Structure 1
Amino acid sequence: MTNSIDEIAGADFILAIGTNTTESHPIISLKAKKARRSGATLVVVDPRRTEMAELANVHMQLKSGSDIALLNAMANVIIEEEIWNKDFVANRTEDFEALKATVAKYTPEYAEKITGINAKTIREVARGYAQAKNATILYTMGITQHICGTHNVFAVANLAMLCGHIGKESSGVNPLRGQNNVQGACDMGALPNVYTGYQAVTVDDNRAKFAKAWNVAELPAQPGLTVGDMLDKAGTGEVKGMYIMGENPVLSDPDSNHVVHALKKLDFLVVQDIFLTETAALADVVLPAASFAEKDGTFSNTERRVQRVRKAIDPVGNARADWQIICAVSTAMGYPMHYASTADIFDEIASLTPSYAGISYSRLEQGGIQWPCPNADHPGTTYLHKDTFSRGLGKFNPVEYIPPAEIPDTEYPLVLSTGRRHFHYHTGTMTQRTGALELHYGTEYLEISQADAATLGVADGDNVRVLSRRGQVEVMARVTDVVPKGLVFTSFHFPAVAINKLTNPAKDPVAKIPELKVCAVKVEKAC
């Protein structure tokens, strides 16, 4: 997030796009509700009529995958009516003319044909966002899990810069992370192209710095593979072994039949996890990891806040903290790792990572600190880009709308989208072992519109078969007005409804994120 969670409550305009905030981020949604009670305008852009949409002043129920057309149309209105922040654009950005030329054709009337949103509504929302004192954009994987996910984010950033709603309080571009330490994992270089703090592996000085710290002669200059690329190469036999930590791709990744095939083709698979997941069941070796309550360390949350995690109990059975397992494996493989504690590891992180340089365990004892924190006297940064962007001027990146990789046809006439439910988490690895949540919400269902249900002869509670070009699952139907005609929706939490057998592995060519939010399916009543 460019800004902080608390700042959401101070916004007077909130554009929530591709985020089911009340279910996926209930604590953050409290800030949006507080802003709404204080008079803020809340606009929700979502194909489904979620609880968040029910709270909104305006619900823009767009067609799945048409976000760029909508965002470009809003930019078109703002430029056409000359209500953009001229001072901010002139002094803090570049390539405005390129953006202006690209969005010229995206009139609200043109966008209405693509998005299904009334042109008048597009104009009203664009004016409201541009003329607000403090406007914030919230988004999640409804924006990123598309073949144009990177370009969706560009379109969001274009809109924020166009109106000067960045670099100040209660504004900004704010992706809400889906898990408790996703931000921290990325900060620590758990990406194929960077070291800690997003220091590129392709930069000679970065490689030299880390090679010296790790006492090795040299480090590879070539970025590694993404998760999807690894699985693809495992399927073709190019990758022979894999080490999976805290991830359950058999249920969470698209086209999961292919995932299972790829993992079974490996010569050797290691899984490190706290439970025997569906992925761990395929492993040659399972390494039992400690849960958050059984280990020390830090988490970095969605607002860039680094916080201490303190061990409450000793690890149960043979479980160990992840860092201890990694050190033991590395040492056994010939590269000794002899850290004495997580504090030692964090000191190394701070010494190599400019954005973490001023953070230490002793400071974190007093409370969390938001990076960048460049030195020990720095209080941390509540919001980014106050006076300048990291590259100097903010760059407009004009983008064009492209349709999803797979659109409905006569054989597969419906769009399937997936997401989260309030009572469960990710692939259910933890939340379906509580003895409580699974009793309250123990069975998954497929949301289907009344019109589609009537056409198919499906009643509420019927078992239906959902089929795509990649597989099929059976699930109970929930006839509802939450989804519009032509769209069906369910979660990926339930192993019994392994919905990612159906989803499309087509990837965004830049970030390599799969298009989990749109695939073509057909639904039929199960016998």
Structure 2
Amino acid sequence: MTNPISDIEKADVILVAGSNTTETHPVISSAIKRAVKFGGTKLIVADPRRIELKKHAHLSLSPNPGSDIAWINGMIRVILEEGLEDAAYIKERTEGIDALREAVAPYTPEHVEELTGIPAEQLIQAALVYAGVEKGSILYCMGITQHTTGTDNVKALANLSMVCGNVGIEGGGVNPLRGQNNVQGACDMGGLPDVYPGYRKVHEEPHALSMEKAWGVSGLSRTPGLTATEMVDAAIKGGLKALYVIGENPLVSEADLNHAEKAFHNLDFLVVQDIFLTETAQAADVVLPALCFAEKDGTFTNTERRVQRVRNAVEGPEGVPTDWEVTCEVARRMGVDMSYPSAEAIFDELASVTPAFGGLSYERLDGEGIPWPCPTADHPGTPRLHVESFAKGKGTFFPVAFTPAAETPDADYPLVLTTGRVLYHYHTGTMTRKSDGLNQQVGECFVEMNREDAREKNLAHGDMATLFSRRGKIKARVNISGRMEQGTVFLPFHFAEAAANRLTNAKLDPVSKIPEFKVCAVTVEKA
């Protein structure tokens, strides 16, 4: 997030795009609702479903799945046409406005209505509301990123924010809501195939040289590794022979799951390190132990970039080493002397080699945590990014054009499937589905459908239905719901026995390499 969570309640307008916030980020949704109820903040919600947060919205948009660039560009066009842009901010702090103006010109409200299904008057109203106040915050989640155009979707939102001067101010910003605990921290620590800690690119010589010096080695590769989705394809083709999976359950969470299963079966060796015997662990040659969150000592970094101390509240099972001790022991047996006296020593090394974390230490993190960048020991941390200037100087507008999803409905597969979470379960259900109370709330997979779509397929509420895509099929309980627009169905992805990802499309965003989980074509029949 460019801004802290506390800034949500300081915004004059909040645009929530592609986020079912009340079910996926309930704490942050409470901040949004407080801002609306007590702070007079205006709320715009853009989501294909009639999610609960829309009940609190001043304006609700229901774009067709996969059409986000069109309506965002349309809002920008209206703002520029009406002269509501922040001209001083654009002149002083940005570059490329003329190219953006040219790029959004075709996105008239009428054309956007054709592409997205959003009525032209609604689009105009949304643009006027967002641009008509001083401070606008944009919140988005995987409904924006999990597309073949996910990177361009984010660029479009950044363009919208900068046009109105909302980046680098209190109550503003472009704020992604992270999907899993400490996923921000994992990325910060270099848990990506193309960066060292602090997002320093492995192919950039100064970064590689600094790490070689710090570690006392030479010849570190300048070539980025594979993303998780690329590993699946590499395993299918035989180029990847072994895989070590830590705290992840890809045999439920990967797109086009039938394809992923073939890839895993093609491996010579699979290691899984986890707290439960997940579906992926059941396929492993070796299963290693792990500690849960309450048994760890270390740091987590939350969605607002705040690095926080974590202390074990309970002791782990007897004989189970900490996660980092397992990693070090594996490294030692492979011939690398990786030894540390404590988790704190690992953090100190991280701070010593990563400028953005140079001022962080366990002692300083003893309070409420510190948001990075924090380059020196006397630096207070950075709750808001880009306040005085952007990291590169001026912020650049990146014009993007609407392109359809990789797979659209046709006569054989006439419905659009989108996927997501429900309040009572988390990700692949590794932990939540072991709770009787949560299973009583939602105990099986369901397909949420519009009444007209269900009637056309002769389906009643509570029936069992079979969903087919070009990649697979599953069975799910029919839930006829007023939340769905006609032509679109929704599946939660928590249920291994009815895995939504047997249906989803593994086509990737060319930059982020994230699959298009949120749009694929399906048909539904009575089981």
TM-score range, shorter chain: over 0.9
The one-letter code matched in structure 2 to 1:304 is R
SS in 2 for 1:506: strand
Q: Deviations over 1:444-498 (max 9, x none)?
A: 2110110001100000000000000000000100011111110000111111211
Distance in 2 (alpha carbons) for counterparts of 1:447 and 1:400: 31
Distance in 2 (alpha carbons) for counterparts of 1:291 and 1:6: 29
SS in 1 for 2:516: coil
1:373 aligns with 2:378: no
The one-letter code matched in structure 2 to 1:264 is H
Aligned to 1:17: 17
Aligned to 1:101: 102
Q: Deviations over 1:92-149 (max 9, x none)?
A: 0111100000001111111010011111111111111112111100000000000000
Distance in 1 (alpha carbons) for counterparts of 2:351 and 2:393: 24
Aligned to 1:29: 29
Deviation at 1:317, TM superposition (A): 4.0
Deviation at 1:243, TM superposition (A): 0.6
Alignment of 1:216-365 (within 5 A): 216-365=217-366
Distance in 2 (alpha carbons) for counterparts of 1:341 and 1:317: 19
The one-letter code matched in structure 1 to 2:234 is K
SS in 2 for 1:32: helix
Once the two structures are overlaid, the 10-residue window that deviates more, 515-524 or 308-317, is: 308-317
Aligned to 2:514: 513
Deviation at 1:355, TM superposition (A): 1.0
Once the two structures are overlaid, the 10-residue window that deviates more, 407-416 or 54-63, is: 54-63
Distance in 2 (alpha carbons) for counterparts of 1:222 and 1:261: 27
Aligned to 1:182: 183
SS in 2 for 1:23: helix
The one-letter code matched in structure 2 to 1:258 is H
Deviation at 1:213, TM superposition (A): 1.5
Deviation at 1:318, TM superposition (A): 4.1
Structure 1's consecutive aligned runs of 4 or more residues displaced over 6 angstroms after TM superposition are none
SS in 2 for 1:453: helix
Distance in 2 (alpha carbons) for counterparts of 1:459 and 1:435: 27
Aligned to 1:197: 198
Distance in 2 (alpha carbons) for counterparts of 1:143 and 1:197: 24
Q: Deviations over 1:144-167 (max 9, x none)?
A: 000000000000000001110110
Distance in 2 (alpha carbons) for counterparts of 1:392 and 1:272: 43
8 Å Cα contact 1:108-1:119 kept in structure 2: yes
8 Å Cα contact 1:330-1:336 kept in structure 2: yes
Aligned to 1:434: 435
Distance in 1 (alpha carbons) for counterparts of 2:510 and 2:430: 30
Deviation at 1:260, TM superposition (A): 1.0
Once the two structures are overlaid, the 10-residue window that deviates more, 440-449 or 273-282, is: 440-449
Distance in 2 (alpha carbons) for counterparts of 1:350 and 1:78: 43
8 Å Cα contact 1:288-1:318 kept in structure 2: no
8 Å Cα contact 1:93-1:396 kept in structure 2: yes
SS in 2 for 1:239: coil
SS in 1 for 2:341: coil
SS in 2 for 1:476: strand
Aligned to 1:167: 168
The one-letter code matched in structure 1 to 2:513 is K
Aligned to 1:6: 6
Deviation at 1:438, TM superposition (A): 1.4
Aligned to 1:385: 386
Distance in 2 (alpha carbons) for counterparts of 1:36 and 1:423: 25
Distance in 1 (alpha carbons) for counterparts of 2:441 and 2:110: 45
Aligned to 1:115: 116
8 Å Cα contact 1:143-1:153 kept in structure 2: yes
SS in 1 for 2:507: coil
Deviation at 1:269, TM superposition (A): 0.6
SS in 2 for 1:436: helix
Distance in 1 (alpha carbons) for counterparts of 2:320 and 2:177: 31
Deviation at 1:10, TM superposition (A): 1.2
SS in 1 for 2:271: strand
Distance in 1 (alpha carbons) for counterparts of 2:393 and 2:283: 48
SS in 1 for 2:400: coil
SS in 2 for 1:211: helix
Q: What 5-or-longer segments of structure 2 have no aligned partner? A: none
RMSD: 0.8
Q: Deviations over 1:284-326 (max 9, x none)?
A: 0010101111110000010000001101222214432211110
8 Å Cα contact 1:420-1:492 kept in structure 2: yes
Aligned to 1:444: 445
Aligned to 2:482: 481
The one-letter code matched in structure 1 to 2:33 is K
Distance in 2 (alpha carbons) for counterparts of 1:112 and 1:440: 38
Distance in 2 (alpha carbons) for counterparts of 1:315 and 1:257: 35
Distance in 2 (alpha carbons) for counterparts of 1:323 and 1:397: 40
Aligned to 2:399: 398
Once the two structures are overlaid, the 10-residue window that deviates more, 116-125 or 513-522, is: 116-125
Distance in 1 (alpha carbons) for counterparts of 2:271 and 2:319: 16
Aligned to 1:145: 146
The one-letter code matched in structure 1 to 2:300 is F
8 Å Cα contact 1:208-1:218 kept in structure 2: no
Aligned to 1:87: 88
Q: Deviations over 1:28-61 (max 9, x none)?
A: 0111001101211100000000101122111101
Q: Deviations over 1:201-240 (max 9, x none)?
A: 0111111111122221120001111111111000111100
Q: Provide closer, same or farther for how the CA distance between residues 317 and 499 of structure 1 changes in structure 2, counting only shifts above 3 A.
A: farther
SS in 2 for 1:345: helix
Aligned to 1:491: 492
How many residues are treated as equivalent by the alignment?
Answer: 526
8 Å Cα contact 1:289-1:322 kept in structure 2: yes
Aligned to 1:421: 422
Deviation at 1:439, TM superposition (A): 2.2
Once the two structures are overlaid, the 10-residue window that deviates more, 315-324 or 478-487, is: 315-324
8 Å Cα contact 1:463-1:476 kept in structure 2: yes
Q: What 5-or-longer segments of structure 1 have no aligned partner? A: none
Distance in 2 (alpha carbons) for counterparts of 1:65 and 1:179: 23
Once the two structures are overlaid, the 10-residue window that deviates more, 428-437 or 387-396, is: 428-437
Distance in 2 (alpha carbons) for counterparts of 1:81 and 1:313: 59
